[in-house]
Amino acid sequence: MDAQEPDERSMVNAAVADVTPRFPMVDPADVERAVRAEVHRISTHARVKTFVPVLAARQARVLLTRRVA
């Protein structure tokens, strides 16, 4: 039995839920835009999609931290 891979929307939602509380001063649309770009970038090259939201959230936090600082 093959495990169903998460779709891009659910990966974005999971990563946004992780990143948004850490950046209350950033517009939620900007957070979602940064996360969506990272999810897309990572998932296009990933064979296993399980950790894409975690990796995308981590990278989005780095990018947003640079913007805020």
HEC string for the chain = CCCCCCCHHHHHHHHHHHHHHHCCCCCHHHHHHHHHHHHHHHHCCCCCCCCHHHHHHHHHHHHHHHHHC
Residue 43 to residue 2: CA distance in whole angstroms: 18
**pTM of the full predicted structure?**
0.86
Q: Could you give the number of structural domains in the chain?
A: 1
Residue at 25 is within a domain = yes
pLDDT digits (tens, 9 = 90+) for 13-68: 999 999 999 999 999 999 999 999 999 999 999 998 999 999 999 999 999 999 88
Cα angle, residue 17 at apex, residues 14 and 23 outer, rounded to 5°: 140
Residue at 17 is within a domain = yes
Residue at 16 is within a domain = yes
Domain span including residue 38:
8-68
Residue at 2 is within a domain = no
Residue at 29 is within a domain = yes
Residue at 28 is within a domain = yes
Residue at 52 is within a domain = yes
Name the amino acid, one letter, at 51.
F
